[in-house]
A and B are shown apart, each in its own frame.
Chain A
Amino acid sequence: MSGPSTYEPKTALERWLDQRLPILRFNAELMDFPTPKNLNYWWTFGAILAFCLITQIATGVVLAMHYNASAGGAFNSVEHIMRDVNYGWLIRYIHANGASMFFLAVYIHTFRGIYYGSFKAPREVLWLIGCLIYLTMMATAFMGYVLPWGQMSFWGAKVITNLFSAIPLVGPAITTWLWGGFAVDAPTLNRFYSLHYLLPFVIAGLVGLHIWALHVPGNSNPVGVNVKSKSDTVPFHPYYTVKDGFAISVFVILFAVFVFYMPEALGHSDNYIPANPIVTPPHIVPEWYFLPYYAILRAIPNKLMGVAALGGAIACIFALPWLDTSKVRSMRYRPQAKIYFVFFVLACLVLGVCGAHEVDDQIISGLAGFPLGDANINSYVWLSRIGALYYFIYFLVITPMLGLRETPLPVPESISTPVLSHPAAAPAGATAAPEKKG
Chain B
Amino acid sequence: MADAASATSGHGEELEDPGRRDFIHIAAIAATVGGAAAIAWPLIDQMNPSADTLALSSIEYDLSKVPLGQQVTVLWRKQPLFVRHRTPKEIAEAANADLGRLRDPQPDSARVKPGKAEWLIVVGVCTHLGCTPAFGEGEYNGWLCHCHGSVYDTSGRIRGGPAPKNLEVPDYAFLTDTRVKVG
Contact = CB atoms under 8 A, between A and B. Distances in A.
A179 to B, nearest CB: 8
A185 B164 CA distance: 24
Interface in A271-317: 277-280, 282-284, 297-298, 300-304, 306
A178 B79 CA distance: 16
B162 A301 contact: yes
A54 to B, nearest CB: 30
Interface string B60-82: 00000000000001010111100
Contact of A180 (B47, B124, B162): B47
A283 B149 CA distance: 11
A278 B146 CA distance: 14
Given A277-B80, A283-B146, A359-B149, A176 B131 contact: no
B53 A180 contact: yes
A280 B146 contact: yes
A239 interface: no
Nearest to B163: A303
Interface string B21-44: 000000000000000000000001
Given A158-B130, A163-B129, A177-B47, A359 B79 contact: no
B128 A185 contact: no
Interface string B151-170: 00000000011111000000
A280 B132 contact: yes
Contacts of A63: none
Contacts of B161: 301
B160 to A, nearest CB: 7
Contact of A182 (B75, B78, B124): B78
B49 interface: yes
A325 B137 CA distance: 50
B59 interface: no
B49 A360 contact: no
A178 B47 contact: yes
A184 B49 CA distance: 11
B80 A278 contact: yes
A176 B146 contact: no
Interface in A352-401: 358-360, 374, 381
A162 B128 contact: yes
Contact of A162 (B44, B129, B133, B160): B129
B132 A191 contact: no
A159 interface: yes
B146 A282 contact: yes
A187 interface: yes
Given A180-B50, A358-B146, A277 B164 contact: no
B175 interface: no
Which residue, A179, A191, A280, A304, has most C-beta atoms of chain B within 10 A? A280
B147 interface: yes
A284 B133 CA distance: 12
Nearest to A183: B78
Contacts of A162: 128-130
A177 B79 contact: no
B47 A280 contact: no
A360 B137 CA distance: 13
A238 interface: no
A162 B123 CA distance: 16
Contacts of B53: 180-182, 185, 187
Given A183-B79, A187-B53, A302-B162, A279 B132 contact: yes
A155 interface: yes
B96 interface: no
B56 interface: yes
A359 B148 contact: yes
A115 to B, nearest CB: 33
Contacts of B130: 158-159, 161-162, 184
A187 B47 CA distance: 8
Which residue, B75, B124, B161, has most C-beta atoms of chain A within 10 A? B161
Nearest to B132: A280
A107 to B, nearest CB: 25
A303 B128 contact: yes
A312 B170 CA distance: 35
Which residue, B50, B130, B164, has most C-beta atoms of chain A within 10 A? B130
A161 B131 CA distance: 12
B56 A284 contact: no
Interface of B: 44, 47-50, 53, 56, 73, 75, 77-80, 124-125, 127-134, 146-149, 160-164
The 3 A-B residue pairs with the shortest CB-CB distance, nearest first, are A280-B132, A162-B129, A162-B130
